[in-house]
Structures are given as C-alpha cells and as structure tokens.
Amino acid sequence: MGCGAGGSTLTIARALGPKGHCTGIDISAPLIATANARSAAEAAGNVAFIRADAQTYAFSPGSFDTVVSRLGVMFFDDPAAAFANLRRAARPAARLALIVWRGRDQNPFMVAAERAAALVVQNFPVRNDAGPGQFGFASTDRVEAILQAGGWTSIDIRAVDLPCSFPATELSAYVTRMGPYGRIRETLDEKTRARADAAVLAAFDAYVSGGMVRFTSACWLVRA
C-alpha cells in the first residue's frame, strides 16, 4: 500500500524469489511509472504494480497472505473502510505489517520547516493531525480502533526509531518542495519567499554533517 516508486515491493520480491509474488499499489501515476521501470530493469517477473487507491480498489478476495505498508496508510480518507477492503483482499490467516510515524513532538526533523516558516509567513497553515496526514496514526488508540473496525485482530503496536539520511545537496529541494511549506511556497511574494527559504534552511543546520542530512524517524511498527 502506498508503494511509491516500488522500493519496498521490489525488496520483498527479491527476498521471496520466484516462488513468491508481490503487488504494489499507489495513487500516483508518476511513481507507479517509475516502479514499473525499475521492475522492468530488474526483469522482476514476480512483481506487479497497480495505479489505484487501496481504500476502494476491487482486489480479488483472499488474494494475499501478507499486507505491508511503509509510511503510506496515514493518508487514507476513510482508514476503517480502507483496512476493511484490505481485509477482504487478504486470506483468513494473513498478516499485516505497517510502519507509520509517531507524533510531531517525537519527529522534530519532520516539522522543522513548517515551524521555521511560520515565524516568517503570516497565517501559515497549521496541519490537522487528527485526520489524514503524516501524523494521522500517531495515536495508538486510534490505530487500534481503525484496525479493529476493519476486521483485523491480534494487534501489536511498538515504537521503533529509524535512522535516516540523504545527501545535503538535496536539502534545498526537500524543504522547498515538500510538506506544508512546499505547498504554499509558490504563493508567497518574492521577498517573503526569500526570507522564509533562509529561515527554513537554517532550521536544518543541526542535522547536516559530513555532507549528509541525518535524522531519526520516530515510528510505530504495527502488526496484526
């Protein structure tokens, strides 16, 4: 679910070998196109990618023995309906494994840009963490209730801290194109945009070392 450019799907397919089969699904046409290109380059015959919404896609009932998502399920419009749809697509004893973010207070890197921009941009939009969005699954009580409503049982949720990094040369693109600041940046006048860019980039100084941006993603590992 939310397979993006196919990295996780292809990794699982390699581990399973030719006797297994993996299906990746994502709503983004460009990401699915990239996933298909990567699959073709690897000649991965045990992988298929679907451009669709996993919340509503008509999977064949009882098709899968494992359902996996890495940082994708928090964005469902109706997560209980989505997990009910996935339960129908899964076999009776199927397993579910998810990685989702914990709260914004445990993920300072993820909110550094918007916090810095809010000091410069008047009426900066505030994210609603109670609905679909990056921190929509921060509450374990909410996650458990959603999965139970979808028909999943034996739910286990535990904290994991995942070290992450990317080249510092990509930082400017990251902070100006993604997240709440990336969404409103082009609506700002030139002077305000320049001030906000400077403030946002400065907010990441503490994360840059040795030509790399390094941070920890505070997540939940959810199994059912």
140 CB-side CA count, 13 A: 10
Q: What is d(CA 54, CA 82) in angstroms, rounded to the nearest whole number? A: 7
Domain boundaries, the chain: 53-223
Q: What is the pLDDT of residue 5?
A: 93
Burial of 100 (0-12, 13-18, 19+ CB in 10 A): buried
Residues contacting 173, CB < 8 A, separation 6+: none
Q: Domain 53-223: which topology?
A: Rossmann fold (3.40.50)
Tell whether the model's pLDDT for residue 188 goes beyond 90. yes
- Taking a C-beta distance cutoff of 8 angstroms, is the pair 53, 26 a contact? no
Q: What is d(CA 76, CA 200) in angstroms, rounded to the nearest whole number? A: 29
pLDDT by residue (tens digit) across 23-54?
999 999 999 999 999 999 988 889 999 999 99
pLDDT by residue (tens digit) across 114-129?
999 999 999 998 888 8
pTM greater than 0.85 (yes/no): yes
Q: What is d(CA 75, CA 70) in angstroms, rounded to the nearest whole number? A: 12
Q: Give the CA distances from residue 207 to residues 64, 149, 161, 178, in Å, rounded to whole numbers and listed in that order.
A: 40, 39, 16, 17
